[in-house]
Amino acid sequence: GAALVVIDVGSDVYALAVFTDPATGEPCLACGCYDGKVRIFDPVAGGEALLVIDVDYSVSALVVFEDPATGALRLACSSDDWKVRVFDPVAGGEALLVLEIGDEVNALAVFKDPATGAPRLARASGEKVLVFDP
């Protein structure tokens, strides 16, 4: 069928992640882009980006998760400089954490370790998936 909303992101989009803004309860769509930016949009209304996070390198994967220590939302993004950066997807700003991966990252996922409750970051590269303690 026809698209309900068309968002002109302004750069080729390589990754998408969806989250709910904790302040408003509204859905947000994070778009990881070729131009090294993550743009946050309202996926229902479309329009201009609500927030732009400058990663400096082409973004290849995104994942949104809750920080278990604070309960705050976090956005992890991989880029073509072989790093994973973690940002606040609501406030933006500088990276809160930068992980030196040293290899291409094609996909990201975050899960809670059932034994410890600690977050784990899984990243895919080629035929392997590696799991980290971020």
Residue linked to tokens 């309900």: 4
Task: Report the 10 Å Cβ neighbour count for 20.
Answer: 12
Asked if residue 63 belongs to a domain, the reply is yes
Instruction: Report which of residues 103 and 76 the model is more confident about.
Output: 76
CA distance linking residue 116 with residue 90, whole number of Å: 27
Q: Is 3 within a domain?
A: no
Q: 18 in a domain, yes or no? A: yes
Q: What is the pLDDT of residue 94?
A: 96
Determine, yes or no, domain membership for 72.
yes
User: pTM (2 decimals)?
Assistant: 0.90
CB 28 within 8 A of CB 40: yes
| Residue 115, H or E segment | none
Q: What does the pLDDT look like over 108-123, one tens digit per residue? A: 999 988 998 888 999 9
- pLDDT, tens digit (0-9, with 9 covering 90-100), for 10-41: 999 999 999 999 999 999 999 999 999 999 99
Given a contact cutoff of 8 angstroms between Cβ atoms, the answer to whether 87 and 99 are in contact is no
pLDDT-derived band of residue 105, with 50, 70 and 90 as boundaries? confident
pLDDT at residue number 24: 93
Report how many domains make up the chain.
1
Q: CATH code at 58? A: 2.40.10.480
Domain ranges, residue 25: 13-102
Q: Is residue 24 a contact partner of residue 73, using CB atoms and an 8 Å limit?
A: no
